[in-house]
Amino acid sequence: MVRNWDLSGGAARLELAVEDLKAARADSSRYWHDATSKKFDEAYLLPLDPKVRRALDAVHRLAEILGQARRECGND
């Protein structure tokens, strides 16, 4: 059975991965700051934040729904 905390753990790992990616890109921007890097940021990194935020919001909503279903079914 999927537990609420399993979803939360995955969400936390996703958030950490995105933070790691942002830190790595910030570090690389000291050396890579040409037109291609700007295109890369615009094509891949900028669209990533809202997509990840929507995914995390969906995971949190699903965790709430699953928790409610578990409570209603008496499987606390």
Mean pLDDT of successive 10-residue stretches along the chain, which has 76 residues: 67 94 95 95 96 95 89 78
What was the pLDDT predicted at 67?
A: 86
Tokens of 14: 């996703």
Question: Rounded to two decimals, what is the model's pTM?
Answer: 0.76
What was the pLDDT predicted at 32?
A: 94
Q: Tell me the Cα Rg of the chain.
A: 18
Distance CA(49)–CA(51), nearest Å, equals 5
Distance CA(69)–CA(22), nearest Å, equals 36
Domain spans of the chain?
4-72
